[in-house]
Chain A
Amino acid sequence: MGNSHLTSTEVQETVIKTLDPPSRGYWLTVGLLALGILTGAACWGYQILIGIGVGGQNHPVAWGTYLINFVFWVGIAHSGTLISAILYLFRAGWRNPIARAAETMTVFAVCTAGLFPLIHLGRVWLVYFMLPYPNQRNLWPNFQSPLVFDLIAISTYLTVSSLFWYTGMLPDLAILRDRFTGTRKKIFTVLSLGWTGEHEQWRHYTRTYLFFAALATPLVISVHSVVSWDFALSIVPGWHSTIFAPYFVAGAIHSGLAMVLTLMIPLRRIFRYERLITIEVLENIAKTIILTGLIVGYAYLSEYFIAWYSHNIVEQESFLWRATGTYRTEFWIMVICNSIIPLILFVKRVRTSIPWLFGISILVNIGMWYERFVIIVGSVAHGFVPHSWGDYAPSIVEMGIMLGTFCLFFFLFLLFVKHMPSVAVTEMKEAIAKENDHA
Chain B
Amino acid sequence: MPEEYIMATFADEESAADTLTALRSSKHPLHRVYSPYPGHRILHAMKMKKSPVGYFTLIGGLLGFFAGFGLSIYTAGQWSLIVSGKPVTALVPFFIVGFECTILFSVLGNIIGLLTQARLPRTEKPPEYDAEFSGTRFGILTSCRPDDRDKVMALVREKGGVGKVVRSDETKVTKVTKVN
Contact = CB atoms under 8 A, between A and B. Distances in A.
Contacts of B114: 167, 204-205, 208
Interface in A183-201: 193-201
Contacts of A194: 120-125
B96 A149 contact: yes
Contacts of B118: 200-201, 204-205
A201 B120 contact: yes
A226 B33 CA distance: 45
- Scoring A12, A142, A434 by chain B CB atoms within 10 A of each residue's CB, the highest score goes to A142
Nearest to B92: A144
Contacts of B177: 199-200
B65 to A, nearest CB: 13
A203 B35 CA distance: 12
B53 A143 contact: no
Interface string B116-140: 0111111111100101111110000
A48 interface: no
Contacts of B126: 196, 198
Nearest to B130: A178
Interface in B19-35: 32-35
Contacts of A226: 96, 100
B101 A197 contact: no
Interface residues of A, number: 56
Interface string A1-25: 0000000110010000000000000
Interface stretch (B2-10, B77-85, B147-155, B160-168): B77-85
Interface residues of B, number: 66
B75 A143 contact: yes
Given A167-B114, A211-B110, A215-B103, A175 B134 contact: yes
Interface stretch (A29-37, A119-127, A152-160, A301-309): A152-160
A196 B125 contact: yes
A53 interface: no
Given A204-B51, A206-B38, A430-B38, A159 B104 contact: yes
B53 A208 contact: yes
Interface string A124-157: 0000000010000010111110001100110010
A227 to B, nearest CB: 12
Given A200-B118, A204-B53, A430-B38, A174 B134 contact: yes
Given A171-B134, A199-B35, A199-B46, A433 B13 contact: yes
Contacts of A171: 36-37, 134
B120 A193 contact: yes
B107 A178 contact: no
Given A198-B33, A205-B114, A208-B110, A153 B90 contact: no
Main secondary structure of the interface of A (DSSP, over half): helix
B53 to A, nearest CB: 5
Contacts of B51: 203-204, 206-208
Nearest to A159: B104
Contacts of B33: 198-199
B110 A215 contact: yes
Contacts of B79: 138
A144 B120 contact: no
26 contacts: A132-B75, A143-B71, A149-B97, A152-B68, A156-B101, A156-B104, A159-B107, A160-B103, A164-B107, A178-B131, A194-B120, A194-B121, A196-B129, A197-B134, A198-B32, A199-B46, A204-B113, A205-B114, A206-B43, A211-B106, A215-B110, A219-B100, A219-B103, A226-B96, A427-B37, A433-B39
Interface of A: 8-9, 12, 132, 138, 140-144, 148-149, 152-153, 156, 159-160, 163-164, 167, 171, 174-175, 177-179, 193-208, 211-212, 215, 218-219, 222, 226, 426-427, 429-430, 433-434, 437
Q: Which 5 A-B pairs have the closest CB atoms?
A: A194-B122, A140-B75, A178-B131, A193-B121, A207-B51
